[in-house]
Chain A
Amino acid sequence: MHEMTPPPGATAPVFYEQEEHAHGDGGTLFGFWIYLMGDSLIFAVLFACYGVLGRNYAAGPSGADLFDLRLVAVNTGLLLLSSITYGFAMLEMDKEKARTTLIWLAVTGLLGAAFLAIELYEFAHLIREGATPQRSAFLSSFFTLVGTHGLHVTFGIVWLVTLMVQVRLRGLIRENQRRLMCLSMFWHFLDVVWIGVFTFVYLMGVMR
């Protein structure tokens, strides 16, 4: 029993408190990581749907007839750029520079908005041509998969704007830093999903 109480001044061999510290804020990020894993299961199911239904054109248009790869290339570039600009925002956050963090976040948000604008333009173009979600199983699964990704980007932008207001009001306090790191994971994760989308849906769709 006396071994548990060290003499004053000595470094106590504390084990469980360290563990608690390690999960103080890291727990949030780990929990958010678990959420992202769940989200990737949603996308896996939608990808599986597309894989099963993606060739059932019902005598309608196929991907090769519909997709404009130049548009998709521009969109991919925008999303990739927004990933690196968010990374720059995080680097500025590490240096505790609220102003430049906000500037990079704004650039990220604009790139995300441009991505969404192009995607909505593409959807509108498809629907004008009669390639609506009701046309064939291929188009149903296409709009569900790509639309769900677009919805994620939309909510990411809402979240981004909210955090910009928060940083403006409170500065880069610990809570805001934690929130920005969660959004960072979310934003980069969307880019990972988009890799799957442009590969399986667009590039493979045009080749068939």
Chain B
Amino acid sequence: MSDIVEPGLAGRPQGHGEAHGPHDAHGSQGTFRSYMTGFVLSVILTAIPFWLVMGDVLDDTRTTGIIIMALAAVQIVVHMIYFLHMNTKSEGGWTFLALVFTLILVVITLVGSIWVMYHLDQNMMPMPPHEAVQKP
């Protein structure tokens, strides 16, 4: 049966997920060039935040915080593309869909937890100090 299928598979465009064909099903999809590009980019994206924080480059810690968070986000995307070979086509888009779904859950978890807990103190019933001391 596979002999009949092969011509059809050979005609499929490359970069179609992990399944290029019966004999090429295990290509790791990376090239020396792509790995080196990812590596150099992530070295740069790691060096900048460490330099910013260790060298006290900016006076404003809030600005530094925003910059290093943005750099971390960019570096995660770089790793996804060059090391994890993430694209919108592999497995017919299901890999990407799973990633998007997870990202939504991660954002809800992170933002939701921090937001709720940040407001928890404000929404507590006021309690005089001497009562608070007697609480276990």
**Which A residues are closer than 8 A to B by beta carbons?**
11-14, 17-18, 21-26, 29-30, 33-34, 37, 40-41, 44-45, 47-49, 51-52, 69-70, 73, 76-77, 80, 83-84, 87-88, 90-91, 93-94, 174, 177-178, 181, 184-185, 188-189, 191-192, 195-196, 198-200, 203-204, 206-208
Contacts and interface: CB of A to CB of B under 8 A. Distances in A.
Given A14-B8, A21-B2, A181 B26 contact: yes
A84 B94 contact: no
Contact of A207 (B16, B65, B113): B65
A204 B39 contact: no
Contacts of A21: 2, 5, 9, 19, 22
Nearest to B107: A44
A185 B80 CA distance: 10
Contacts of A208: 61
B94 A30 contact: yes
From DSSP, what is the main secondary structure of chain A's interface residues? helix
B53 A207 contact: yes
A100 to B, nearest CB: 13
Given A23-B91, A93-B28, 6 more contacts: A30-B91, A44-B109, A69-B53, A83-B42, A192-B84, A195-B46
B122 to A, nearest CB: 15
Per CB-CB distance, the 3 closest pairs between chain A and chain B, nearest first, are A48-B113, A87-B35, A90-B28
Given A14-B4, A26-B25, A41-B109, A88 B35 contact: yes
A41 B110 CA distance: 10
5 contacts: A33-B95, A33-B98, A70-B54, A93-B28, A192-B84
A26 B30 contact: no
A18 B83 CA distance: 27
B79 A199 contact: no
Contact of B79 (A45, A49, A94, A195): A195
B98 A34 contact: yes
Interface string B103-114: 001100110011
Contacts of A174: 25-26
B110 A51 contact: yes
Contact of A26 (B17, B61, B64, B110): B17
A177 B102 contact: no
A181 B50 contact: no
Contacts of A33: 95, 98
Interface in B23-45: 25-28, 30-32, 35-36, 38-39, 42-43
B94 A203 contact: no
Given A11-B7, A195-B76, A87 B110 contact: no
B113 to A, nearest CB: 4
A159 to B, nearest CB: 17
A198 B54 CA distance: 13
Nearest to B45: A195
Contacts of B7: 11
Contact of A192 (B28, B46, B76): B76
A48 B76 CA distance: 18
